[in-house]
Amino acid sequence: MSEPYDTIISPQNIEIKVFLLEEEHIDRVYAMEVESYPDAWSKELFLPEINNRAGKFFVFFIDNSLIGYAGYWLGGEEAHITKFTVAPTYRRKGLGTLFMNYIFKQVKKEDVKKIILEVRERNYPARCLYEKMGFQTIGTRIGYYSRTRENAVVMVLILDDFTDYDTD
Ligand SMILES: CC(C)(COP(=O)(O)OP(=O)(O)OC[C@H]1O[C@@H](n2cnc3c(N)ncnc32)[C@H](O)[C@@H]1OP(=O)(O)O)[C@@H](O)C(=O)NCCC(=O)NCCS
């Protein structure tokens, strides 16, 4: 594997290596994607996230195990979170919170003022996490997810109003 982009420490004090998405990660990311979403992205949808100049896509590893991934697109002072996933066996251990804090830190470096995301209306774990981290619901997109026809809740966080979350 190539050199990590960064290293962060889990709440359990375990070292997590952060990489930017590369082709060699795609099979593992896709396997977790299918496990995690009723409307999973196809493998092909991940490919443009490699070397995407208009955003970043991080994959998180403990040793050789993929434990999650998260991506965003940039547009002006706004970041749009495209993916946010923790591996099933690693959930409820504070990693979602850690990864979101990591995204906050990264987008602040890119002068982002506002983060936006969509989440399935019935995805209570994710909605709870986002609310806990300061996101506010600004609307609903009816039937947004084409496969399931489920509604999306649109959530926004204004970074200026936000307490400093530091992952160092
Ligand atoms: C949503 C997700 C990223 C949360 O990751 P996580 O590592 O479990 O999150 P954390 O451990 O940091 O949890 C933080 C808070 O989120 C909320 N939360 C997380 N999972 C929850 C669950 N199953 N039920 C209720 N609340 C939950 C809680 O408020 C939790 O705080 P607490 O543990 O102190 O009660 C993870 O469940 C996931 O990957 N789900 C599948 C993919 C997905 O739906 N992603 C969101 C796409 S929009």
Strand order in the sheet with 55-62: 6-9, 15-20, 55-62, 65-75, 78-86, 114-120, 152-158, 136-141
Ligand 1 centroid distance, CA of 157 (Å): 17
Indicate if ligand 1 lies below 6 Å from the C-beta of 153.
Answer: no
What is the residue extent of each domain of the chain?
A: 6-161
The atom number, within ligand 1, closest to the CA of 120 reads 48
Average pLDDT of every residue of the chain: 94
pLDDT at 34 over 80: yes
Q: What is the pLDDT of residues 60-100, one digit of tens each?
A: 999 999 999 999 999 999 999 999 999 999 999 999 999 99
Calculate what percentage of the chain has a pLDDT beyond 70: 95
Find out whether the beta carbon of 84 lies less than 6 Å from any atom of ligand 1.
yes
43 C-alpha to ligand 1 centroid (Å): 24
Nearest to 67 by CA among 38, 43, 39, 99: 99
pLDDT confidence tier of residue 39, bands split at 50, 70 and 90:
very high
Long-range contacts formed by 122-126: CB under 8 A, 24+ apart: 122/150, 125/91, 126/84, 126/96
Contacting residues for 27 by C-beta, under 8 A, at least 6 apart:
43
CB 101 within 8 A of CB 114: no
Place of tokens 């434990």: 67
- CATH number for 6-161 (one of 3.40.630.30, 3.30.565.10, 3.40.50.2300, 3.90.1150.10): it is 3.40.630.30
Q: How far apart are CA 78 and CA 71, in angstroms?
A: 13
Distance 122 CA to ligand 1 centre (A): 13
> How far apart, in whole angstroms, are the C-alpha atoms of residue 158 and residue 13?
29
Q: From ligand 1's centre to the CA of 135, what distance in Å?
A: 14
77-80 CB contacts, 8 Å cutoff, 24+ apart: 77/111, 77/112, 77/113, 77/114, 78/112, 78/113, 78/114, 78/115, 78/116, 79/55, 79/103, 79/107, 79/110, 79/112, 79/114, 79/115, 79/116, 80/55, 80/115, 80/116, 80/117
pLDDT beyond 50 at 167: no
Nearest atom of ligand 1 to the alpha carbon of 126: 1
